[in-house]
Chains A and B, each alone.
Chain A
């Protein structure tokens, strides 16, 4: 098969990091090439080089056999490269078709008809049903992703880059995307798919490359991939991803083998014995929130939560999970209902009061709402206690203490950062999440609400995050974990509640029958 694009010894450095280190890779027509690697391995950097968002410091990019300089996104498009970035890049105030027409020449009139025709073609190719005149702000994340793919394919691109397109999708959305990718591949498009989920890599990928610390750690060609069993694939890839040698060759440390076992999966927090005779730490009674036009409001949600318990919240994204999290955290007022924390009525308590009483919240919007990107890691670790002792005394900042605290947290949570003074937006997604978890699961936490705590995290960081959640529960913290990934919830929860259209459709004990019941509850087909 012909090589559409290739990297030859490409190096890209950022202050304090080598994001790509002499990387050579080839991308072939009619093939889905999956890129795997830990957070910060350099996957997105590779995409931004091919998309013209960044320039390599050394090495060459070849397209169609020619060395090219991709100095702008426009140049990248002219070379036949389309990209879907890790962050959604659409203009919410414009309609779908307007977003797709953005690239047109200023000197010509808007050509709506041809654009609609092209939209129709691509909609058919991808198998989507999106209204071209709908404003983008009203689309679900999955639909927005489809629009981005359309934009990436608008001019018959020959190479399509997809940077974690599945991280926000439910299994249904992932299946749709998979079908679209297969159609494109059969048309001879070269696809690069980045994901953290191994099962997706196996299902959609023809060839798998693994990046580690900016280098290519290994590549599995199609024939070899097909010849391996799933267990073999998993083990091979995890060893590549995390640099764990194969037993016998050079004698890896035992610690590595233990880590491998952890990564291959074991139950972290089995259903704990929870004394439900004791009073619950958090009681929610018939809580409703006011509707706003983008998100589903809550409708009469009631539940109790005991210390040391993990309550998973499952459901298709957009069924009121965001309101639930924000209402519990105190960021969104209740319209009716009651919230009690221990003996105290906190129904109308605001964020600082709840925080002081031990309520903690990890948002799913890590870089927007969870952290201040330009602030250093150290400041972000005490962000929610600005002005409070011991960090601040009599209005003066105790930088020594803040920095010392940060260094301890960085060490104990394995946060990968050049230093505690690095702005948090220079860290990779997994490491930003570690900062948030370190801040929110502190010693004074009583109830913690975690919204999609593992989204965008690599296997290792997923494990670490889940481990931290399990450890917090063991300390007696009551946790509410919201996720679209049911397997993950089954792994860590004591009970699992299901959100459907703003209601808590039911709460089930996490036993062998749980998965089936939950799947039915998720579609609104049953109630408990």
Chain B
């Protein structure tokens, strides 16, 4: 047990929690925007995967991490475009389309990766890190929490921004109305399809960004199905957060920590079978669902297409 309290263990746990939690946070925030507007993105995993792939390829070829993030966001948006066209505009079933997006993205990214790199898995250079002034000098916390990719700090700002957007902008009101009583939004003169389209494109961008971070910063390589369930956890986070971005962040931190525990324990050489340790995040998912599942409050119009004048 001594090993658990050493500085190196705690730093690697905190650092790992942030690294593993950030993609969940980005995807969860993205999904939250859509769910508010009444769109369920079961394909969140697929959007992350496409983002991870496009982000990795962009950084691999240009060496720029910023371009990688942008490309990841764009990749996620391209997957979201399918939801926009088929589900929001044509009213097809969101669950069916969502599952196909995830399955399709899995196959497509693996295939493209194989065509380009065959069976080799090239590794990127380490991602640049920004140490926050003053905060970075705090023992343990400094190295664990305040020495990360700039994207981490931007995402924290995003959490605050989204909280504000949801509560005090016209766009936030429109999102809430689109998920709650779309006909009322329409009657107020705001196009429901347009509102939901914007929401889904935001989701795609954030999920893709999360995927790119996962590949480029978290892992440094791309392997097929690299997201391994992160999108699903993102959906769970959004559903449990009751529309509050801060709750997504807390949830992402929790899951990030349990994911990081897996590696941290191995690094510390604790003698627990790895299979047990790797089960931890999923045990946490189940425990959270059992404990808080009944508290989730979903928008009444979630998953239902809107057709003007339909009765």
Contact = CB atoms under 8 A, between A and B. Distances in A.
Contact of B187 (A54, A85, A367): A85
Given A73-B186, A102-B185, A102-B190, A110 B176 contact: no
B135 to A, nearest CB: 31
A105 B186 contact: no
Contacts of A90: 181, 184
Contacts of B176: 91, 93-94
What is the interface of chain B mostly: helix, strand, loop, or mixed? helix
B170 interface: yes
A53 B183 CA distance: 10
How would you classify the secondary structure of chain A's contact residues: helix, strand, loop or mixed? loop
B170 A108 contact: yes
Which residue of A94, A102, A103 has the most chain B CB atoms within 10 A of its CB atom? A102
Contact of A94 (B171, B177, B187, B308): B177
Contact of A91 (B185, B191, B309): B185
A426 B311 CA distance: 7
A404 interface: no
A89 B190 contact: no
A99 interface: yes
Interface string A320-353: 0000000000000000000000000000000000
B168 A89 contact: no
B191 to A, nearest CB: 7
Given A73-B187, A92-B180, A92-B181, A101 B173 contact: yes
B170 A105 contact: yes
A102 B177 CA distance: 8
Interface in A83-109: 83, 85, 87, 89-94, 98-99, 101-106, 108-109
Contacts of B171: 106
A426 B309 CA distance: 11
B188 interface: yes
B171 to A, nearest CB: 4
Contacts of A106: 169-171, 174
Contact of A110 (B173, B180, B186): B173
Nearest to A84: B187
Contacts of A102: 170, 173-174, 177, 184-185, 188-190
A91 B177 contact: yes
A90 B308 CA distance: 15
Nearest to B243: A93
Nearest to A90: B184
A8 interface: no
Contact of B189 (A48, A74, A109): A74
Contacts of A92: 180-181
A419 interface: no
Interface string B174-208: 10110011011111111100000000000000000
B309 A54 contact: yes
A503 B281 CA distance: 53
Contacts of A72: 189, 191
B190 A91 contact: no
A425 interface: yes
A425 B184 contact: no
A158 interface: no
A495 interface: no
B33 to A, nearest CB: 13
A188 B40 CA distance: 47
A431 B2 CA distance: 77
Contacts of B186: 53, 73
B169 A110 contact: yes
B180 to A, nearest CB: 5
Contact of B188 (A53, A54, A103, A110): A103
Interface string A445-485: 00000000000000000000000000000000000000000
Contacts of A83: 187
B241 to A, nearest CB: 15
A281 interface: no
Given A72-B191, A85-B187, A98 B173 contact: yes
Interface string A58-80: 00000000000000111001000
A54 to B, nearest CB: 5
A373 interface: yes
A24 B169 CA distance: 42
A93 B185 CA distance: 13
A93 B176 CA distance: 8
B189 A77 contact: yes
A72 B177 CA distance: 17
Contacts of A54: 308-309
A105 B168 CA distance: 13
B169 to A, nearest CB: 6
A501 B165 CA distance: 41
A151 interface: yes
B170 A91 contact: no
Contacts of B308: 53-54
Contacts of B309: 48, 53-54
A159 B21 CA distance: 54
Nearest to A423: B311
Nearest to B308: A53
A34 to B, nearest CB: 22
Nearest to B171: A106
A98 B176 CA distance: 10
Contacts of B174: 102, 106
A151 B181 CA distance: 16
Contacts of A109: 168-169
A85 B184 CA distance: 10
Contacts of A91: 176-177, 180-181, 184-185
B195 to A, nearest CB: 9
**A53, A91, A93, A110 — most chain B CB neighbours (10 Å):** A91
A103 B190 contact: yes
Given A109-B169, A425-B311, A426-B311, A103 B189 contact: yes
Contact of B170 (A89, A94, A101, A367): A101
A206 to B, nearest CB: 27
A110 to B, nearest CB: 5
A74 B190 CA distance: 7
Interface string B261-273: 0000000000000
A151 B170 contact: no
Nearest to B299: A93
Interface in B197-227: none
A324 B184 CA distance: 30
Contacts of A110: 168-170, 173
B311 A74 contact: no
A15 to B, nearest CB: 13
A100 to B, nearest CB: 8
Given A90-B184, A101-B170, A102-B184, 12 more contacts: A48-B309, A53-B186, A54-B309, A72-B189, A91-B181, A92-B181, A94-B176, A102-B173, A102-B177, A109-B168, A151-B188, A373-B311
Query: When A and B form their complex, which 3 residue pairs have the shortest distance between CB atoms, in order from nearest?
Result: A102-B188, A74-B189, A104-B170
15 contacts: A53-B186, A53-B187, A53-B309, A73-B186, A74-B191, A83-B187, A87-B183, A91-B184, A93-B176, A94-B176, A102-B184, A102-B189, A104-B173, A109-B169, A110-B168
